Amino acid sequence: MESISVQVPLVLFLITISQSSPPNIISITDGRGIQQYCFNNLSLTAGKKNDITCETYGARPPAVLIWRIPSDTVIHLHDQFNVIEDGSYISRKAVTITPSRNDHGKILSCIASHPELQYEPQCSVYLNVYVLPRDVLLFLTGVNQSQSTALHVQEDSPTSITCKSIGSFPATKLSYQLASSAGHADKILNHENISSKRSVLDDTLFDTEGFLAIRPNIEHHGKYLQCFAKLEGSRFEVGFAKLIVYGPPKGIKIISPVDIYDGVEINVICKAVNGYPAPHIHWYIGSRNLTEDSSLNISENKAGRYDAESTLTLRPTRFIHWKRLLCQAVQSTPLPARSVNQSFVLNITCKY
């Protein structure tokens, strides 16, 4: 009796596994493991390898999977492998494809062959091949078109910046964002006048151009302007450039002795802070330039801008009594120069 009780389950198992049945599901899965609906679009990026897998479930014995690929599409065909699960087979057969722009719109089909099938079911997908832009450029509008790693702009001056996405399919959507040097996004910037046209390099692709109008301030200095050239399916390329904001110092002050005596040498200090680039400091009494009698010390602050401190050595006389001593901090730039001034009236005490 003992031997019978052991053999019956084995016989039942053999009968169960020997029963023939066709696959009940056929599907195609992309390289991200996302199952695609048959006869739907499969979105791929040109030039990037993708593993696409045909799968069937529920067959006994395993189905034979056959890929039908257009003759001019370059692929690598992998071997089929089968695993048994709950008394039936899961079969998979993958192809590796690196699509080109020419593969857009082509059809990949997987056919399942099985003895229990009167007709061979198939699952097909239509290739939707995206072409990422070959370049995303940021440059000052009106300046020669090229990639700029830094955009030199004048503080408080209306400025137009162009973002250009070159050679994509389909045309990209452009968006702008400011980010700190640590990569943290500050804010999304509004853009305008975005247009697309056939690429001058390849008329099957598109060039897209957009313009950003900003009025830079010193808070923009050192931040990164990013232009996102986006395609559907979260595919995108990014162009970025560092904003260098030219501007005069934001503060200037003169430090002078309280008591000034005729013939007694004094040091007068002028401090100008938070300018870019480093300012030059000049000294004047009326039209007389005293700058050669001064020394200048420049330091860079945490904001990446410059503080300047000039020390003027002056031997006052009664002839300059009640005249105005002027400190002028001049923005040193090929752009139109700006300056800030500070002055005070010399009150000189005579010894006699």
The mean pLDDT value of the chain amounts to 87
Question: What is the reported pLDDT for 190?
Answer: 63
Question: What is the reported pLDDT for 185?
Answer: 60
Residue 183 clears pLDDT 60, i.e. is over it: no
Residue 9 clears pLDDT 50, i.e. is over it: no
Question: What is the reported pLDDT for 15?
Answer: 40
Question: What is the reported pLDDT for 205?
Answer: 94
Band of residue 31 on the pLDDT scale cut at 50, 70, 90: confident
Band of residue 180 on the pLDDT scale cut at 50, 70, 90: confident
pTM of the prediction? 0.75
Which domains does the chain possess? 2-130 (2.60.40.10), 135-246 (2.60.40.10), 251-349 (2.60.40.10)
Per-residue three-class SS string for 96-158: EECCCHHHCCCEEEEEEECCCCCCCCEEEEEEEEEECCCEEEEEECCCCCCCCCEEEEECCCC
Per-residue three-class SS string for 270-284: EEEEEEECCCEEEEE
Query: 281 with 237: CB under 8 angstroms?
Result: no
Question: What is the reported pLDDT for 168?
Answer: 95
Question: What is the reported pLDDT for 335?
Answer: 64
Band of residue 244 on the pLDDT scale cut at 50, 70, 90: very high
Residue 329 clears pLDDT 50, i.e. is over it: yes
Band of residue 191 on the pLDDT scale cut at 50, 70, 90: low
Residue 7 clears pLDDT 50, i.e. is over it: no
Q: Write the pLDDT tens digit of every residue in 77-123.
A: 999 999 999 889 999 999 999 999 999 999 999 999 999 988 899 99
Per-residue three-class SS string for the chain: CHHHHHHHHHHHHHHHHHCCECCCEEEEECCCCCEECCCEEEEEECCCCEEEEEEEEEEECCCEEEEECCCCCCEEECCCEEEEECCEEEEEEEEEECCCHHHCCCEEEEEEECCCCCCCCEEEEEEEEEECCCEEEEEECCCCCCCCCEEEEECCCCEEEEEEEEEEECCCEEEEEEECCCCCEEEEECCEEEEEEECCCCCCCEEEEEEEEECCCHHHCCCEEEEEEEEHHHEEEEEEEEEEEEECCCEEEEECCCCEECCCCEEEEEEEEEEECCCEEEEEECCEECHHHEEEEEEECCCCCEEEEEEEEECCCHHHCCCEEEEEEECCCCCCCCEEEEEEECCEECCC
